Structure 1
Amino acid sequence: MIRHTSAPLASLSLDLDNKWAYLRSRGESVWQKRPSYLPAVVPRIIDFLGERSLACTTFVVGEDLTREADAHAIASLRHAGHEIGNHSQSHLPWMDALNVDEMEREVEQAETLIAQVTGEKPLGFRAPGFSWSPPLLATLVRRGYRYDASVFPTFIGPAARWYVKLSGFRSQQSQATAEDPAPAEQRFSSFGDALRTLRPHRVATTAGSLIELPVTTMPLSRAPIHFTYVSFLAQKSPAAALAYWRTALRLCRLRGVGPSLLLHPLDFLGEEDEPQLAYFPGMKLARAAKLKLLSEVLDHLARGRRVVTVAQHAEQVDLTR
């Protein structure tokens, strides 16, 4: 059982996009025909976090809420005490390339479905692929959002974009169809993002201001520390992966950063669950080994910190001003 303390804060978020969206990112058109895995993985997430008395912010995709079984699964997350945030309607990792009207539709459609399923309008937003832009933030302010959590301050993101270009992944531009039109390039954050603060802060937009709560990366180096990356390191050495995570937490404490840890649904799946996703970081670990690692990661996160939702973490920005 994880014990909570009064301060300082850390937060936990989960980007609950359907795993077949990863195939879409590779330019594989078969992604739309795959059955959803959310009804199977969500109860696992609820049980795992519930055993540790942890609540997280779950950013959900509107399209997933159009399927009854998926909507029921996401409703069960809210019933279990987890915050539901907006992760856009269609999970386009090039959202920053859309025009303002298209951005508005992506936000509004998912927002409407989330409210229908949970009975509550979402307070926060995370852009798919961290593809935020100033017009998107202004859209969120106009729609009454309290915070955004789309900034990923790392140099790895831009490097990943070049890797995608050079590794032979097929261009979405060449694969675009009337049912799934898309520009060719995914953002994966930018070099400018890597230089941004890791601390929650207010951001001014043309429509007003809102709180930005970045995904935490390693202070100083800005290397990723989200659990998918830690599990990727664990494929080579679990001990080295945990040492890396503990180093990140020590640096966060020294730099006065309240860490915000990002999870993905694949963090709750092992290689035996879906061999077709073996290329994805961390998916060469057995489920039991991965969940053991995640338990240790969360235990270290909670030592001397109170782990809260992203909304609760963001709220402290105004309370401490």
Structure 2
Amino acid sequence: MLAMALQHPLLDSLITLTSRFWNAGENGWAQIIIPDAVSVPQIADTPDEVDEDEQPLVANETITFNVIDLVDIIFFPLQPSGGTRVLLRSEYPDLYERLKIKRSQSPGTGAVVTGQPGIGKTIFLFYLAIALIMDGEPFALQIGKRPLFIVRGPADVQLFNPESADAGVLNGIKWALSDSNAVLGPPPDIFLDPFPPSYVVQTTLPTQKRWKEWSKQRGAGLIFMKPFNWNEIYFVGTRIETHPVNPNTLMEMFTLYGSSAQLCFRLARNEQSRIDWERDIIPTLRNIPNLAGLVENVLQTTADEVSSQIPPPSFLASTSSMK
């Protein structure tokens, strides 16, 4: 099957990345990872930590974050706003190492990487593509409606139509990366062909119709990404986002509504969005099946059991009816 003749901006970027960083290892990472030390206001731990106006006392802590910066790469969509910088969460390399172990043990299976909306699942998949380039590992990549990219070596990147390409294009490909969205549900059929046994990694929302059937047939594991903590949300909202968020409003949204970065940014930017969202909270809760059982199981489950690993059966049972 011949590769498509048409060019694509992501194809150019993958060619640039592989030309510069194929099998570059730590030396390659050192060229694109930039430390950024930031003074982050800390949220009061107890209600007693307030000033005379009953406002929480806030202390600052200097924290160093690692940022991947691809400013000179033509087109590599690390974030929806089109920026070239992205926070390198400590979870990313840890999760990659875990996936490498799983692949070495069961190369023909795969993993579903999921989590709350806006947690950075697609960003992790792009990180994974960069990590495979740094390690010199051939891979296939499909993001939503984009065509299929086959990456084999330095400047050796081809573009295919996933609907017409045969499984032979994956010969020698160790990893198959797929990002699910409203257009692309499960990974493309070419990724799920039993030969050759590429290790499939799908990033997706928890909606079961996107991952349950293929992961069951393939024996893929289920991995939940860790929610953002306050330090990460502050850094991304004030230093990474193309349109920075007001830090005081951002802290208020995080304190009230938790660790969904996407939600905190949206509510902090737009008061009407916050009003509309708060109005819908009660109806949304009423429509969650077995809410009491879900809350009970979550409260009894440690963070490490639901973050970056397969959650316990009780948690899966409580969420099995949620679509």
- TM-score per shorter chain, which class? under 0.3
Larger Rg: 2
Could you say which structure has the higher helix fraction?
1
What is the TM-score of this pair, normalised by structure 2? Answer: 0.26
What is the TM-score of this pair, normalised by structure 1? Answer: 0.26
Q: Which has the higher contact order (CA 8 A, sep 6+)?
A: 1
